[in-house]
Chains A and B, each alone.
Chain A
Amino acid sequence: ELQLVESGGGLIQPGGSLRLSCAASGFTVSRYYMTWVRQAPGKGLQCVSVIYSAGNTYYTDSVKGRFTVSRDNSKNTLFLQMNSLRVDDTAVYYCARGEADYYYGLDVWGQGTAVTVSS
């Protein structure tokens, strides 16, 4: 079964750091486009970072220089290191799988992990 399981969320003060994890099963993370998508309370969806199968990365402007996406192939796990957290980073963070050889959308999603940035 294809599955993504996020962990690492929680309550953190502004300026703090968190590291989110996304453990994959049923497929190999390094072969796929993988993305982190967040959803602020009562709001829509926003792609915040991406790591392509080749290893190159992309970040939305609001998180550039603060967030770092990476993967550990031996653990088949995706990470999101979040530093200098701000109140407006509060959201549920989902990891999702995209394409490997050809495009077919974001077809596998985790259940999400909640991040609350508050003093």
Chain B
Amino acid sequence: DIVMTQSPLSLPVTPGEPASISCRSSQSLLHKNGYNYLDWYLQKPGQPPQLLISLGSTRASGVPDRFSGSGSGTDFTLEISGVEAEDVGIYYCMQALQPPRTFGQGTKVEIK
């Protein structure tokens, strides 16, 4: 299975300040079609996960543009340009290149 490793695991943030989460995969997620099969999800407290970004950098419908994804191969980053209170929760990366799809451990974002 492809192992996904996130850092940091905990991220205290100040509202309005930027935040960044790293995700590294044990194998390249770059498909021969040129897309990286890497998603980002946010699980808010008491809720199921919600899709933020797919294919490394494509924002899902309704996701604010303060969220952006970048990276290729084995190294990926989720950036929040200015954190808002509603952004608290646990962020997960997930690879979709090979079954089984595997998630990172999660990064807990909380307001300072």
Give me the interface of A with B, judged by CB distance under 8 Å. Answer: 35, 37, 44-47, 50, 58, 60, 94, 96, 98, 103-107, 109-112
Contacts and interface: CB of A to CB of B under 8 A. Distances in A.
B54 A58 contact: no
A104 B92 contact: no
- 4 closest A-B pairs by beta carbon, nearest first, are A105-B54, A109-B48, A45-B103, A105-B39
B100 A58 contact: yes
A107 B100 contact: no
A49 to B, nearest CB: 9
Interface in B34-57: 35, 37, 39, 41, 43, 47-51, 53-55
Contacts of A47: 100-103
Residues of B in contact with A, size category: 20 to 34
A103 B35 CA distance: 10
A35 B49 contact: no
A45 B54 contact: no
B37 A103 contact: yes
A50 B99 contact: yes
A119 to B, nearest CB: 28
Contacts of A107: 51, 54, 60-61
6 contacts: A44-B103, A45-B106, A103-B35, A103-B54, A104-B60, A105-B51
B96 interface: yes
Most buried by B among A45, A104, A107: A45
A105 B48 contact: no
Contacts of A103: 35, 37, 54-55, 96
A37 B41 CA distance: 13
Nearest to A92: B48
A110 B60 contact: no
B90 to A, nearest CB: 8
Contacts of A60: 100
B72 interface: no
Nearest to B43: A45
B58 interface: yes
Contacts of A44: 92, 103-106
B38 to A, nearest CB: 10
